[in-house]
Amino acid sequence: MQIKIEADQLWNELDKLATFSDTPAPSVTRILFTDNDVKARDYFKSLAREAGFEVREDPIGNIFVRFSGSEKNLPAVGTGSHCDAVPYAGRYDGTVGVFAGLEALRALKKSGFSPKRPLEVVFFTSEEPTRFGLGCIGSRLMSGAMDLNRLGQLRDKDGKSVDEARKSAGYDGDLTQVKLPEKYYDYFVELHIEQGPVLEREKKQIGAVTAIAAPASFRIQITGEGGHAGGVLMPARRDALVPCAILTQELERLARESSSPDSVGTVGVVKVHPGAINSIPANVTMEMDIRDTQLKTRDEIVEKILAKARQLEKERNVKMEIETINSDPPAISNETILGSIEASCTETSLSHMRLVSRAYHDSLFMARIAPMGMIFIPSRGGVSHRADEFSSKEEIAQGAEILARTMARLSLQA
């Protein structure tokens, strides 16, 4: 099958998308349900309609673009990613999977390909946790991984609820309708930049992702006792920052010494009150992220770090309140999808390898309702969530072609 990816057109569309940003180029900041997020959505929908595809949106703002198959009642083959961007990010994280997904459908249509199963691209709502502190809101709701009570508890920094925010962006309707019906997808495959150095280091053009690591994330509020840095002697101190520092070091040790090579632990948020150089920290909020492709080893680290927190609470005479932000299971890719990715690479003479994703994606939640797989393209220097994030025009086009061929194969599966 001859498939022509319009590499220049796709590159230019990604360039234009990057102009919908709250911060100046080369950075991209695009926060859920803000003006620039709405502009990005409108731009994507206009391109999809221009290409002659069906477009629909659900009440949380997930956008679906469909290329109907010859057997319209069969479950679809889905793809997609996200277009929201963390502050001062780059222009390729998530966006490649959305816009190259659309280009894959356009290329298949132009080639004369007639899918058996429908093909569909999803522009997911809020993969990034920037606004409401929880990622993958759209795919969590679509897959039934989050109930509406939990959604209703989420607030942004201004105290605004998700419901208020979605309505301000023009989304209304019954949120119970977001969850997809059973067997909506037969397969789901997401294209993404790697956000890591493996493909570049191994000089491979395509990665077939075998598993997605999933985080367990926690917020710990530590309450000690403040005071003047010169007025309280060391034996009398109940410094809230010291146990935070000990926990940070302990998490690093546990992740480094784990039996799994994919174990990672991060303390990414530390807020200290009152935050003065000559004041003893009275209150500290820390947020930690622990992830692995293996649930057993990840949860072993979780158990040990939380036990250490309880130990420090007693030893340091402080109070610790531990809140689980999320704890999601890892996802394993489907062998039929992996085989289709690899066959497409062989067909196009593109070098490839299998690897895991240590970042999580909407596919983590789509795996709960359909066989899942992912395609990675190289990221220069392994950089992501930075303005210098980069994948080349050629690499993006290659990813789009492998995605198109993989979706075509899966569409025709018996």
pLDDT, tens only, 227-270: 999 999 999 999 999 999 999 999 999 999 999 999 999 999 99
Tell me, yes or no, whether 1 lies in a domain. Answer: no
Which of 327, 351, 366 is the C-terminal boundary of a domain? 327
Residues 107 and 252 in one domain: no
Residues 59 and 205 in one domain: yes
Tell me, yes or no, whether 2 lies in a domain. Answer: no
Helix (H) or strand (E) holding 63: strand 63-67
Domain that holds residue 307: 214-327
DSSP assignment string, 111-176: HT---SS-EEEEEES--S-TTTS-S-HHHHHHHTSS-HHHHHH-B-TTS-BHHHHHHHTT--S-GG
Residue 235 DSSP label: G
Nearest to 357 by CA among 124, 135, 190, 194: 194
Cα 152 from Cα 369, distance rounded (Å): 23
Residues 130 and 26 in one domain: yes
Which of 312, 327, 342 is the C-terminal boundary of a domain? 327
Residues 27 and 136 in one domain: yes
Residues 104 and 220 in one domain: no
Sign of CA dihedral 379, 384, 386, 387: positive
Nearest to 206 by CA among 409, 381, 400: 400
CB 298 within 8 A of CB 263: yes
Which of 295, 327, 359 is the C-terminal boundary of a domain? 327
The tokens of 239 are what?
């410094």
Residue-by-residue pLDDT tens, the chain, 414 positions: 899 999 999 999 999 999 999 999 999 999 999 999 999 999 999 999 999 999 999 999 999 999 998 998 999 999 999 999 999 999 999 999 999 999 999 999 999 999 999 999 999 999 999 999 999 999 999 999 999 999 999 999 999 999 999 999 999 999 999 999 999 999 999 999 999 999 999 999 999 999 999 889 999 999 999 999 999 999 999 999 999 999 999 999 999 999 999 999 999 999 999 999 999 999 999 999 999 999 999 999 999 999 999 999 999 999 999 999 999 999 999 999 999 999 999 999 999 999 999 898 999 999 999 999 999 999 999 999 999 999 999 999 999 999 999 999 999 998
pTM assigned to the model? 0.92
Q: Quick check: bond before 274 cis, omega within 30?
A: yes
